[in-house]
């Protein structure tokens, strides 16, 4: 059996009192799109930086194609490209100059550089913007340029750290279409995002919360294995009162307030009686955000229980 391209075992990292990564273990299969989703400050970027050796992990091991990297990150770096949160572009250089510079520092051979550059400009639709300063590009074009610079070294692994904030929906779709193509070419993509709708596009979805993986799996696995039924309920009384009372009844981890509606997670076959009446609930298909919030709350409750 072929070893996964990356395997992380018990990775931990603390910045002073803040535990950025807490015993993280993860397997990244080859030619896959793994999306690490979680709120800001949950440790997603730290994980990517640890994998590239930009941040030194306090504990844990990283295996590249089955081989322990053991603090030598040259191997990982030599087959990967990294796109940071703010695209890593030089605003005072043109699109072409940015590409040239990155090609040079990634040691792309001279005879391949021009051909590769033209192909990437064409592929990302940047051909007509090649002489424009990066500072004057729209968010979507900056993102494409950053991706193009990352692809110059023809990496096997692409680390994309929150590549979509501030990008319009059309550009996002276009971006994920490009990622899909790259995946088909056999590249492994690890992408972090705070947006759960984006996470749905991943082959493997990893939910991060306070430096820990709280749940992972494919979209279908996450939905099918969700242990509870999801119901939506629109109370006629004050929604906040209803939330307070119902959270005592079902537990706060099983209740989400969304607009005028409450989402309730209930085990199969269980009926809910509130204020002396059997509740008429509307069953729903669990959405990714329901699953995330359920596991996030559960993790918080467990932490709280553990602390106490």
Partner 1 sequence: MRFLFLFRKEWREIFRQKEMVALLFIAPLIQTIILGYVVRTDVTNLPVGIINLSQSIESQRLINRLASSPLFKIKFIASKPVDAEEIFRQGKSKALIIFREREKRASEEFSFSLPEVQVLLDGSDANSAMIAAGYFYGLFGHYITTLLHREDKDVPFQPKTIIRFNPSLNSLHTMGPAIVALLLTIITILLTGIGLVREKEQQTLDTLLVSKLTPIEIFLGKTLPMAAVGLIEMTLGIMVVITIFDVTPRGNLAYLYLAAVAFLFSILSIGFLISLISQSQQQALFFCWFTMLLFLMLSGLLTPLENIPPALRWLTVINPLRYLIAIIREIFLKGNGLAYFWQDILIMAGLGLVAFLFSLRVFRRFVIK
Residue 240 tokens read as 């906040």
Asked whether position 68 contacts partner 1 by CB under 8 A, the answer is: no
DSSP string over 52-94: HTSS--SEEEEEETTEE-TT--HHHHHTEEEE-TTTT--TTSB
Q: What is the sign of the dihedral through the CA atoms of 91, 192, 107 and 68?
A: positive
Asked whether position 14 contacts partner 1 by CB under 8 A, the answer is: no
Residues 30 and 186: beta-carbon distance below 8 Å: yes
Asked whether position 172 contacts partner 1 by CB under 8 A, the answer is: no
Q: CA of 50: how far to CAs of 20, 26, 34, 213, 274, in Å?
A: 11, 13, 16, 15, 49
Q: Which is nearer to partner 1, 131 or 170 (CB)?
A: 131
Asked whether position 106 contacts partner 1 by CB under 8 A, the answer is: yes
Query: How would you classify the pairing of strands 277-278 and 282-284?
Result: unpaired
Q: Of 18, 25, 56, 119, which one interacts with partner 1 (CB under 8 A)?
A: 56
Overall residue count recorded for the chain in this entry: 308
- Minimal distance, residue 92 CB to partner 1, in Å: 5
Asked whether position 239 contacts partner 1 by CB under 8 A, the answer is: no
Q: Which is nearer to partner 1, 148 or 266 (CB)?
A: 148
Print the binding letters for residues 108-147 with partner 1: x by CB under 8 A, - otherwise: -------------------------x--------------
Asked whether position 93 contacts partner 1 by CB under 8 A, the answer is: yes
Q: Which stretch binds partner 1 (CB under 8 A): 80-88, 109-117, 191-199, 283-291?
A: 80-88
Count of residues near partner 1 by CB under 8 A: 29
């Amino acid at each position: 059996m072929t070893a996964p391209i990356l395997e992380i075992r018990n990775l931990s990292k603390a910045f002073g009192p803040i535990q950025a990564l807490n015993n993280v273990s993860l397997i990244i299969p080859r030619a896959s799109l793994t999306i690490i989703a979680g709120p800001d400050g949950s440790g997603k970027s730290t994980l990517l930086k640890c994998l590239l050796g930009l941040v030194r992990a306090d504990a844990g091991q990283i295996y590249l194609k089955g081989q322990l990297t053991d603090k030598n990150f040259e191997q990982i770096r030599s087959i990967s490209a990294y796109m940071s949160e703010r695209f890593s572009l030089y605003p005072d250089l043109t699109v072409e100059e940015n590409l040239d510079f990155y090609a040079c520092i990634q040691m792309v051979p001279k005879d391949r550089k021009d051909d590769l550059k033209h192909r990437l400009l064409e592929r990302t639709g940047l051909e007509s913007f090649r002489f424009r300063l990066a500072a004057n590009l729209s968010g979507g074009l900056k993102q494409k340029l950053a991706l193009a610079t990352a692809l110059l070294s023809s990496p096997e692994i692409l680390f994309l750290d929150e590549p979509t904030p501030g990008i319009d929906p059309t550009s996002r779709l276009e971006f994920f279409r490009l990622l899909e193509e790259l995946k088909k070419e056999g590249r492994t993509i690890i992408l972090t995002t705070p947006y759960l709708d984006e996470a749905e596009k991943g082959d493997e979805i990893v939910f991060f919360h306070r430096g820990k993986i709280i749940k992972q799996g494919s979209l279908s696995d996450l939905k099918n294995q969700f242990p509870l039924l999801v119901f939506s309920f629109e109370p006629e009384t004050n929604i906040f009162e209803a939330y307070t009372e119902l959270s005592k009844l079902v537990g706060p981890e099983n209740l989400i307030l969304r607009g005028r509606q409450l989402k309730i997670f209930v085990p199969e076959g269980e009926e809910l009686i509130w204020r002396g009446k059997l509740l008429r609930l509307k069953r729903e298909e669990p959405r990714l955000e329901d699953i995330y919030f359920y596991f996030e709350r559960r993790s918080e409750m467990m932490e709280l229980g553990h602390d106490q």
